[in-house]
Structure formats: structure tokens, C-alpha cells
């Protein structure tokens, strides 16, 4: 389902990673700051162009340096949840959620607006502007917005780094449910061991651009 091999020189750091996954699971990318975790998922999303390698998601070739394939981000069908939410400040929560919906036809749409609003508990926020949301609410809306594009893969870049402990506890359960309920694989960047133990099925440890070790975790306790 997921086959990724990337090489990229970024300043003094040389990123060289390769990993595969054949099941729908939560993969955590773990490592110290500057290990290149965010660069890896930016390359998967199409926001940064790798020097060489390939990215295959669900048998779709998104990038292949040999075949000269490089799909732009909007054609990759990959959802990205950023550390800082990045909601559109000029749009209501409802319009933020709907922004990516028009590219998915209703027939192939397995995730409905109603489902997402229900799952994330954001029904009472729909008419608000992002500036009137708390940090946790913003991240839930960001997750919903990415889900509604019906992505083949969800990328998360330390989505809870800016949240305090109660807010984290509020959102963490949603993430493990995404993978199981909607059958979307998740590639999750973090430097929190607690999040890994609660969410991840597979753990990839990165250090200075390379994969230091890979392994299965005991799996999330509730999934």
C-alpha cells in the first residue's frame, strides 16, 4: 500500500530513507529535532521535491525520479495535518471543512460531512471563524478538513505539539479511530513516546536523515 524511498540533500543534512507498509496502519516517524522527519512527509505530500527515489501509495505512482513522475500536491490525494493547523482564517469552520470536498465525487466518497462532524464533535463550531477556536478545536477541524478529501494516506506533523495535556487527551482517541474506522493509513511525525505508545502500530526511528531502526509496537491499547 505504501512504498517510499527518498533521497534529498538539504543543506548539510542528507536524507536517505526507505520504508514499506502492506497494511492499513499508523506508522510513527520518531526522532530528535533536525532528524529530517518533517522533510520526509513534506516530500511525500509533494511540497518538497526529492532528488531521487519513488513514492507509491495504493499502487499509484506519485513520484518516481527514474520515470520522471512528479505529481503536484493537489493531485496526490494525500491529507496533511500540520503542527499549526493552518486553517483558512477568512473562512468559517464549515467552509474550511468543505474546501477539499469538491474534488471528490459523491459516488466514491466514503466519508460524509455529517460523519466527520459527528466523529470530531465539531457540530457547534461550524459557523465560527478559526480565530474564535481553541487550539484543540482548531486541530480537530484541521483533521476533519483533511479527512473530507477522502485521502489515500494521512500525514500528521506533530499535530499535538502545541497543545496542553488535557487537549491532547481530547484528540488522541480520534486519531486511532481514523485509521480503523475509515481505513486510512497514517504517517505520523512525533517526538513524544507517549503518543507512540498510544497510537502507533509501526515505529520508524530517524536520526540525522537516516532510519536508525524500524519495528512493530505493541499496538494501541484500544485498537
In whole angstroms, the minimum distance from the beta carbon of 47 to another protein comes to 5
Which residue number, 156 or 203, has a Cβ lying nearer to another protein?
156
Q: Is 88 helix (H, G, I), strand (E, B) or coil?
A: coil
Length of the chain: 223
Q: Which is nearer to another protein, 73 or 173 (CB)?
A: 73
Nearer to another protein, 52 or 71 (CB): 71
- Sequence-ordered list of residues with C-beta below 8 angstroms from that of 105, at least 6 positions apart, any chain: none
Separation of alpha carbons 126 and 134, rounded Å: 14
Distances (CA, A) of 5 to 12, 35, 61, 65, 93: 20, 16, 12, 10, 36
CB of 100 to another protein, least distance (A): 3
Residue closer to another protein by CB (options 1, 91) is 91
C-alpha to C-alpha distances, 145 to 12, 105, 190, nearest whole angstrom? 35, 16, 21
How many whole angstroms separate alpha carbon 113 and alpha carbon 115?
A: 6
Rounded CA gap, 133 and 8, in Å? Answer: 37
CB neighbours of residue 108 within 10 Å = 7
CB of 197 to another protein, least distance (A): 28
CB of 83 to another protein, least distance (A): 9
Q: What are the residues binding another protein (CB under 8 A)?
A: 45-47, 72-74, 76-80, 82, 84, 86, 88-90, 92, 99-100, 102-104, 128-132, 145-146, 149
| Residue number, 5 or 76, with CB nearest to another protein | 76
Closest distance of CB 132 from another protein, Å: 5
Comparing CB distances to another protein, the nearer of 77 and 190 is 77
Closest distance to another protein from the beta carbon of 94 (Å):
12
Amino acid at each position: 500500500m505504501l512504498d517510499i524511498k527518498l533521497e534529498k540533500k538539504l543543506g548539510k543534512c542528507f536524507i536517505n530513507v526507505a520504508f514499506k507498509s502492506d497494511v492499513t496502519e499508523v506508522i510513527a516517524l520518531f526522532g530528535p529535532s533536525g532528524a529530517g522527519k518533517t522533510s520526509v512527509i513534506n516530500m511525500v505530500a509533494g511540497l518538497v521535491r526529492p532528488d531521487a527515489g519513488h513514492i507509491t501509495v495504493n499502487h499509484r505512482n506519485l513520484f518516481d525520479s527514474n520515470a520522471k513522475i512528479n505529481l503536484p500536491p493537489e493531485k496526490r490525494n494525500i491529507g496533511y495535518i500540520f503542527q499549526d493547523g493552518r486553517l483558512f482564517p477568512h473562512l468559517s469552520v464549515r467552509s474550511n471543512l468543505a474546501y477539499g470536498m469538491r474534488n471528490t465525487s459523491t459516488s466514491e466518497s466514503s466519508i460524509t460531512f455529517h460523519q466527520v462532524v459527528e466523529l470530531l464533535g465539531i457540530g457547534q463550531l461550524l459557523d465560527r471563524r478559526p480565530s474564535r477556536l481553541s487550539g484543540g478545536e482548531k486541530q480537530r477541524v484541521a483533521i476533519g478538513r483533511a479527512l473530507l478529501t477522502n485521502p489515500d494516506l494521512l500525514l500528521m506533523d506533530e499535530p499535538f505539539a502545541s497543545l496542553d495535556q488535557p487537549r491532547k487527551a481530547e484528540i488522541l482517541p480520534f486519531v486511532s479511530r481514523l485509521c480503523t474506522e475509515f481505513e486510512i493509513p497514517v504517517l505520523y511525525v512525533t517526538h513524544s513516546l507517549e503518543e507512540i505508545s498510544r497510537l502507533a502500530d509501526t515505529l520508524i526511528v530517524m536520526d540525522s536523515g537516516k532510519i536508525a531502526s524500524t519495528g512493530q509496537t505493541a499496538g494501541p491499547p484500544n485498537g
